[in-house]
Amino acid sequence: MTGICGLVGREADDLESKAKTMLSLMEDRGLKSRTLVQSLPDREKTAIGICDSSDAQSLGNSAIPLALDGVFFGDDQRHGNPAPAGPSRLIQTAGAFAFLTSLQDHLIAGRDIVGQKPLYYGKAEDGIVAFASLKSPLKAIGIHEPWPVSPGKIIRASVRGYETVNNYSLKQRKEEPISELDATYALDELFREAVRRIVPRRSGIAFSGGLDSALVAKVARSEGLAPELISVGLRGQPELEHAEKTAKSFGIQANVRELSSSEILDSLPDVVGIIETADPVIVGISVPIYFACQKAREMGLSYIAAGQLSDELFGGYGKFEDIALQVGINNLGKEMFDSVVAASAKDFDPGDKLAVAAGLELCCPFAYLPLVEYALKLPASLRVKLADGKVTRKYILRRLATRLSLPDSVVDRPKKAVQYSSGVQKVLLKEARRQGMSLGNMLESFTG
């Protein structure tokens, strides 16, 4: 859990004071903070700040300051990568991170290629260019509409503005003729590697008993990681009973958090404030994650794992089924790729903020870069299968689940979005109708 910020401005600008103000607005990400100010040519200065729960010493341990939020997952998976040590090498490494550094008289920023850690930027009216882990610190210094740093892009900033100097973002891969059997074996190996590298021992797992969370739980269990399963939903939801039964089939007891309608509604100011958006879809997904994180914190856990990016990579959304039925499988590849790219803002940013606000780190094994790159070159017909007018979403993941001996109740279970399976969406819509307004307007009422 770390918050980072960086600013570049003129020598007369009080950058250090602004950096401290920004860090004070990221206390959820760490109470101990440090700033480093450097003078540049042409009367420019940079300030880099970091806050975390330790001594925040990483900022000044070398000649080149580095403020890092996140982790790397072992050795660089891109064997033979010729890039020298530095931002270009760093950003191509498998991990979940955002970083800021001062290099060659510029402020440099970047995020991992999948975009699992939030980082925003913009330019204030006084000419200062700034970056931060959250939007609110940027707004506090006069940047009214912060933009997310694009995953995989290295941005260079000065008082003249900012520009992308390197782009390692995900590219749509050409589908390769991979057989179902080969794909299943390869995904088995990659997913086990992802769980081993990303999910620490005794992590919580946001567990619905659906395909994604069941795969994470089963592999974590088989790898000896002793996971704690956490299931959240409105009291009386049948999915809670399914989650408990599925957990028991793994030899694990699920930790169930039954919610009342009033608890869901009372959480909305906190949820909207933490995720920094009132988008109805994102809020609906975020409320169950919020309570799962609260439960994990009550249990004394430090990590919570989730199935983010599975739906995007393997065609889990209903829109992919509609496209397959209307125009065929051949057009699905680009739709799924675009969904993967959009996941940074829609899934990872809010998920990370919710976890960190609860004192946790979010772990997403489906976002493991080697796994992502392999999945993107799979034929669309293996990810979404169309046969005899019937569509099977996440087809190859279901084959993997069968290989791992998951119960048929999981393998064959239709995909249901968490906001619906948890009962949260029903509560939100009912309250919006009671207030005589749209759900979007109701949620906007909780913004600053």
DSSP labels, 141-165 = TT-SS-EEPPTTEEEEEETTEEEEE
Q: What is the CA angle 260-261-267, rounded to 5?
A: 95
Q: Is 82 left (phi over 0), alpha (psi -120 to 50) or beta?
A: alpha
**Which of 166, 150, 32, 168 has its CA nearest to residue 98?**
150
Q: Which residue has the tokens 């850690």?
A: 117
Half-sphere exposure of 386 (CA within 13 A, CB side): 18
Give the E-state strand segments of 73-203 in sequence order: 95-103, 106-111, 120-123, 129-132, 147-148, 153-158, 161-167
Quick one: pLDDT at residue 82? 54
CB 130 within 8 A of CB 45: no
Domain boundaries, the chain: 2-167, 180-442
Q: For the segment 382-437, what is each residue's pLDDT rounded down to a tens digit?
A: 999 998 889 999 999 999 999 999 999 999 988 888 887 888 999 999 999 999 99
**Could you say which DSSP state residue 251 is in?**
T
List the pLDDT tens digit at each of the 448 positions of the chain.
Answer: 799 999 999 877 789 999 999 999 999 998 899 999 888 777 889 999 999 876 555 565 556 788 999 999 875 444 445 555 688 888 998 899 999 998 877 899 999 999 999 999 999 988 899 999 999 999 999 999 999 999 999 999 988 888 999 999 999 989 999 999 999 999 999 999 999 999 999 999 999 999 999 999 999 999 999 999 999 999 988 899 999 999 999 999 999 999 999 999 999 999 999 999 999 999 999 999 999 999 999 999 999 999 999 999 999 999 999 999 998 888 899 999 999 999 999 999 999 999 999 999 999 999 999 999 999 999 999 999 998 889 999 999 999 999 999 999 999 988 888 887 888 999 999 999 999 999 999 999 998 6
**Which of 204, 257, 208, 135 has its CA nearest to residue 414?**
208
Number of residues that this document lists for the chain? 448
Using DSSP, state whether 326 is helix, strand or coil.
Answer: helix
Tokens of 148: 């997310």
CATH number for domain 180-442, candidates 3.10.105.10, 3.90.380.10, 3.40.50.720, 3.40.50.620: 3.40.50.620
Partnered with residue 231 across adjacent β-strands are 256
The stretches of 199-279 forming alpha helices (DSSP H) are 211-222, 238-249, 261-275
**Which of 323, 322, 292 has its CA nearest to residue 307?**
292
Tokens of 269: 């100011």
CB 129 within 8 A of CB 121: yes
**Whole-number Å distance between alpha carbons of 215 and 204:** 14
Name the pTM for this structure.
0.93
The helix, strand and coil proportions of the chain, stated in percent and rounded to the nearest 5, come to 45, 25, 35
Quick one: pLDDT at residue 423? 87
**Which of 212, 283, 196, 284 has its CA nearest to residue 246?**
212
**Which of 244, 200, 254, 195 has its CA nearest to residue 222?**
195
- 2-167: CATH topology: Glutamine Phosphoribosylpyrophosphate, subunit 1, domain 1 (3.60.20)
Give the E-state strand segments of 285-423 in sequence order: 303-305, 361-363, 384-387, 390-393
Q: For the segment 189-226, what is each residue's pLDDT rounded down to a tens digit?
A: 999 999 999 999 999 999 999 999 999 999 999 999 99
Quick one: pLDDT at residue 386? 92
